[in-house]
Chain A
Amino acid sequence: MRLRIAVAAAALAGAAVQAQPGGVTFDRILHADREPQNWLTYSGSLDGHRHSPLTQITPGNAKDLELQWVFQTRTPAEPAEKFEATPLVVDGVMYTTLSPNHVVALDAATGRMFWMFSPRLSPLARVCCGRINRGLAILGDSLFMGTIDGHLIAIDAKIGKPIWDVAVSRPELGYSLTVAPLVIKDKVIIGPAGGEYGIRGFIAAFDAKTGKEAWRFNTVPGPGEAGHDTWPSGSDAWQHGGGSIWVTGSYDPALNLLYFGTGNPGPDWNADPRPGANLYTDSVVALDPDTGRLKWHYQFTPHDEFDYDSTQVPVLADIEWQGRPRKVMLWANRNGFWYVLDRATGEFLRGKPFVRVNWAEGIDEKGVPKRTLNATPEGTLVYPNNQGATNWYSPSYNPRVGLFYIPTWMDTYSTYTKGAVEYKEGNQYVGRFPTMTVPALRTGPGNVNTRTPQEGWGAIQAFDAKSGELKWQFKMSDVTDSGILTTASDLVFAGGREGYFFALDGRTGAQVWKGNVGGQVSAGPMSYAIGVRQYVAIAAGSALFVYALRQ
C-alpha cells in the first residue's frame, strides 16, 4: 500500500503539476542537464553522451531495482518490427514510437496511455532492415516523427493529432525515414535510410512550425559540388551512391556545428560501378545547422566494399589531449576502429581497432586506413563481419570517469564475394550478400545461440577516452544490439540479444544487477525521474520495460 500511495503522489506531481507552459523550448533542449528528470532528445543531450545526471540508483543499491510497469506494443515480435525507439520524457509524460510508426503518450509513472497516433502508410514503403522507427524529437508542444514511407510528421503532443505532414522522399525508390529527428533551433533535421536500394542520401532541415524545407545537404555530391570527383566521371553512379542516415546526429552549440554519420556507398558489396573514395559515404559530416553548408568531413572507410556504415551517434567530449583541453569527437565505427577526431576541424587524432580487424592494418597519421583486402570473385574472409564491430546502437560517454562505452560484436567475420549488380528502381542494389556466422537480424522468436566463441560474441567495452586504453569488457555469450546508458552515479545500463537488461559498475565492469526481459534488446536505455524517484526504461522484444528501486 505504501508503494501505491507513493506512486500516486508521484503521478499527481509528475503529470499534472510539473508541465511547463510553452512546452519544450530549444533553450531547454540546449540545457537538458538542468532538468535531469526529463529526456528531451534521442540521446538525452545534444552531445550524444546518452548519460543521465540522475544519481538515485547506484552500483550499491542497483540490486534493488524492480520492474514498475510494462507497455506492450501490440505489434508482433517479428524480426522486421524490432522495437528500436528510445522514449522521450517531458514533465511526467513519456512519448515513444512503436513499429512501424505508431506514436503513444504514456503516463511515465504507470505506463497508462493518454493517446495513440497511427498515420496511414503507403504500401510502397521499402525497408531493407526492418519496418522500424528509432524515436521522436520534440519542440514546443510538437513531436516529430519520420515514417517508413518517407514522410516527416509533426504531431500535437497534447492530443496526438497531426499538425503537418510532408513528403520528404519517395518510398517507392527505397527512401525511408527510420531515424529519430533532431531539433536544432527552429528546425527539424532528418535524413533517409535506404542505402541498400541505390538511394542518394541527404540530410535535410524543415521549419518546425510549417514543415517547409529550409535546406538539404546531399551526402553524395552531384556535378559541381565539392567531392563529386570521388565518383567516376561519365557515370550516374553518384545518383545511386547511398550515404544513408540511420541514426540521430549531435550538435555543438559553441561551434554551431551539426554532426551526422553517413551510411555505406551503393552498391554495398560490389564497388566496380563506383571507383573512387565515394564521398561523403561512411563519413562524419560537420554542417552549419542554419544553412546546411559543409564545414568539414572525415571519411572512416573510403571506397567501402564491406557495408561499414558510419551509422553511429557522434559522441562529443571535452578531454585533455597531449596536455591541453581539446574538443574532440569519439567514434566507435562499424569498420572495427574507434577514433578520436578534433570536432572543430575534423583533424584525425587517433584510430585504434577495438575488435579483430583484418581489412586494414591500421590507420596512417593522416587518418587514411591502410587497406589490405578487397572483395573478390572468389570470396574474401574479412574481420569484422558485415554487421560490423558495432552498428547503430548508441555508445555512451561518462564525463565523470572519462570512459567511452561501446556495444561491441567481437571477432565476427564475413566472406565477401563480388557478384553481379544492376540498378533497378525500387529493387535492392547491393551485389552478393556476404556470408555471416552471426546474422544481422535475430531470425525468429526466442534467444537460441549455438555459436562457438570463434564465430563471434558480444561485449560492452569501456575505453579511456584520453589514453585509448581498454579498461574492462563485459562479455556476453551472444552479440548485442543494445545501446548503452551511463549515469552520474557511474552505472552502465545495457542489454543484448539474450533477453537480459543489466547494470554494470561503470568503473570496473562488475555486474551489479540483471533483469530478464525475455526478448532481444534492440534499443537504447534512458532514465528519467518523477518527483524524487528515478526510473530506467528499456525496449525489448515488443514491449517497453521500466524499472525503479524497490520502495
Chain B
Amino acid sequence: MRRAIALLMIAAGVAAAAQEHSYTQADVENGARLYQASCAGCHGPNGDMVPGIELQRGQFRRATTDSEIVQIIRAGIPGTTMPPTSFTDTQAATIVAYLRTAAPAARSGRGGATVARGDPAKGRAIFESKGQCATCHRVNGSGPRVAPDLSEIGTIRPATELQQKLVDPNAEIRPGNRYVDVVTRNGSKITGRLLNQDTFTIQLIDSNERLVSLPRTELRDVSFVKTSPMPSARGTLSPEEIADVVAYLVTLKGYRP
C-alpha cells in the first residue's frame, strides 16, 4: 500500500520549522519522507529536475521565506504544473525543513554533485563484510545501535550526501548523530551518542547500548566529540565499491515505504 501522506507531525515542530534554521532532526526526516513520497516524482530526488529550480540549493523562482514556500506547497501555483496539496501547514513546514537543511550539503559540492551508478547487491555485501559498516550500523533490526540506524537512510538522505559521508565523514556531522564525552563527578567517563539535552540534563545511548540520563549537576565535564567516529572509505574501498555501497544505501527505504 502506498502511503503518500504522512499524518503525523509533531505540533511543537510547527512553530520551530516556520522560523528558518531551527528545525529539529525529526522535522527534517519527516519532511524528507514527505518529499520523497510526494514531490520527488516531478522535482526529482535531488530537487533539480524542474528547469530553473534547484530546491536543495535554495534556488526558487517565486519564494524566499519559509512561509512563502509553505504557501506554495499547500496552494500550488495556478496556471503551472505545480498542484495544490492536502498537506497541513505543519507537514509543509517539515518539507521546507528538509529542503533547507539539504541545501548546505548540496551547495558545498563536496563529495561530488554526481553519484556514479553502483550495484546494490554488491554494495550490500561490501557493507556487511569488507566495508565493515555493519560493525557499527544497524539495518532492519540487526547490527549494533552505536552508530545511527540506516534502515530508512535511502528515504531521508539523497545519494550525493551518502557518497559524501562515505568519503569524508567529517564534512558534515548532523546534530542528531553527534557523540559526547561526559565525565561524572566521581570521575567515571561515558561516551555515547547524544539523544537529547537541556539546561539541566543530558540523555545519550552509551557504547553498551544503555539509555543514560544524567543531571548536569552530577557531571564534571561534557564535551562533543569533534570528529566523526566513522572512518573514511577512501582508503579502504575503491570508487566503484563506494558507488556500490551508496547504491545499496539508497535502497533502504524503511518499513513502511
Contact = CB atoms under 8 A, between A and B. Distances in A.
B203 A121 contact: no
A162 B255 contact: yes
Contact of A93 (B9, B138, B211, B256): B211
Given A114-B196, A119-B8, A12 B218 contact: yes
A156 B215 CA distance: 25
A11 B12 contact: no
A158 B198 CA distance: 20
A75 B196 CA distance: 20
**Chain A interface mostly helix, strand, loop or mixed?**
mixed
A114 B203 contact: yes
B22 interface: no
Interface stretch (A1-9, A277-285, A343-351, A480-488): A1-9
Contact of A113 (B30, B196, B210): B196
Contact of B213 (A15, A119, A163): A15
B6 A120 contact: yes
Contacts of A7: 215
How many of chain B's residues touch chain A, expressed as a range?
Answer: 35 or more
How many of chain A's residues touch chain B, expressed as a range?
Answer: 35 or more
Contacts of A9: 218
Interface in B64-91: none
Interface in A76-124: 76, 92-93, 100-102, 105, 107, 109-110, 112-116, 118-123
A162 B254 CA distance: 8
B215 A114 contact: no
Interface in B6-57: 6-12, 26, 30, 33
A15 B5 CA distance: 37
A356 to B, nearest CB: 42
Contacts of A15: 210-213
B128 interface: no
A112 B196 contact: yes
A448 interface: no
B255 A165 contact: yes
Given A118-B30, A120-B256, A102 B205 contact: no
A401 interface: no
B214 interface: yes
Interface string B153-189: 0000000000000000000000000000000100000
A16 B210 contact: yes
A226 interface: no
B211 A158 contact: yes
B8 A110 contact: no
B215 A74 contact: no
A112 B199 CA distance: 11
A288 B177 CA distance: 46
Interface string B196-238: 1010010101100111111101100000000000000000000
A100 B211 CA distance: 25
Given A15-B212, A105-B211, A109-B213, A114 B195 contact: yes
A75 to B, nearest CB: 6
Contacts of A93: 211
Interface string B81-114: 0000000000000000000000000000000000
Contact of B215 (A4, A115, A165): A4
Interface string A1-32: 00011011101100110010000000000000
A114 B211 contact: yes
Contact of B149 (A16, A123, A161, A167): A161
Contacts of A296: none
Contacts of B205: 114, 158-159
B195 A115 contact: yes
B213 A158 contact: no
B124 interface: no
A114 B209 CA distance: 12
Interface of A: 4-5, 7-9, 11-12, 15-16, 19, 74-76, 92-93, 100-102, 105, 107, 109-110, 112-116, 118-123, 151, 153-154, 156, 158-159, 161-165, 167
12 contacts: A11-B213, A11-B218, A102-B10, A112-B213, A113-B196, A118-B8, A118-B30, A121-B6, A123-B7, A156-B149, A158-B209, A161-B138
Given A11-B201, A109-B213, 8 more contacts: A11-B215, A101-B8, A114-B203, A121-B6, A122-B3, A123-B7, A153-B255, A165-B255
